[in-house]
Amino acid sequence: MKIYEKIKMARHLRQLSRGEMAEKMGMSVDGYALLERGERRFDDEKIEKVAQILEMSLSELMSIDEQSTMCLLSENHTENVERGFLLIGSHFSHIYYDGAAVLATKNGELKLTVKHQAELLAQKDREIETLRELVRLKSATAE
């Protein structure tokens, strides 16, 4: 895998646009796009700058390949939400992990939902038993 492909993959993983990368690198979008497409060569200084922007060490950036599995976590303090990004091969998705208080609230809501579902199932079982009893009574009176 070429360095420009590794950088593009890492940029996607961090959910940065080419424009954002270009701005952080102090370049034009077109100039950065040439680098990322492999039409212009990344020099050592630019590669180090990219690694810094992507919050990766140079060795981590260089070790990315099609078979690599990466997990990068960052925290968004304004929303108190941790974001985890998982990349396997060339496919990636992002996963949101909520803070402990939000998880506790969601857990409570789910417990109430489960309790309600259990009550509905018990009610259904009682209704089925009542219907069976009615069928038995009707069968007994018909004989």
Whether the pLDDT of residue 135 is over 80: the answer is yes
Tell me the pTM.
0.47
Residue type at position 72: L
H helices present in the chain, as ranges: 3-13, 18-25, 29-36, 44-53, 58-62, 100-142
Quote the crossing angle between the two packed helices 44-53 and 18-25, to the nearest 10°: 120
Structural domain count of the chain? 2
- We report the CATH number of the domain holding residue 23 as 1.10.260.40
Residue-wise pLDDT tens digits, 32-50 = 999 999 999 888 899 899 9
Share of the chain above pLDDT 90, in %: 39
Residue-wise pLDDT tens digits, 52-71 = 998 888 877 777 765 554 55
110 with 120, same domain: the answer is: yes
Whether the pLDDT of residue 115 is over 90: the answer is yes
17 with 80, same domain: the answer is: yes
Whether the pLDDT of residue 114 is over 50: the answer is yes
18 with 87, same domain: the answer is: yes
How confident is the model at residue 67, as a pLDDT? Answer: 55
Average pLDDT, the chain: 78
24 with 72, same domain: the answer is: yes
Residues 6+ apart with CB under 8 A from 129: none
Whether the pLDDT of residue 90 is over 50: the answer is no
How confident is the model at residue 54, as a pLDDT? Answer: 85
Whether the pLDDT of residue 100 is over 90: the answer is no
Long-range contacts of 106-113 (CB under 8 A, 24+ apart): none
Q: Which domain holds residue 112?
A: 98-142
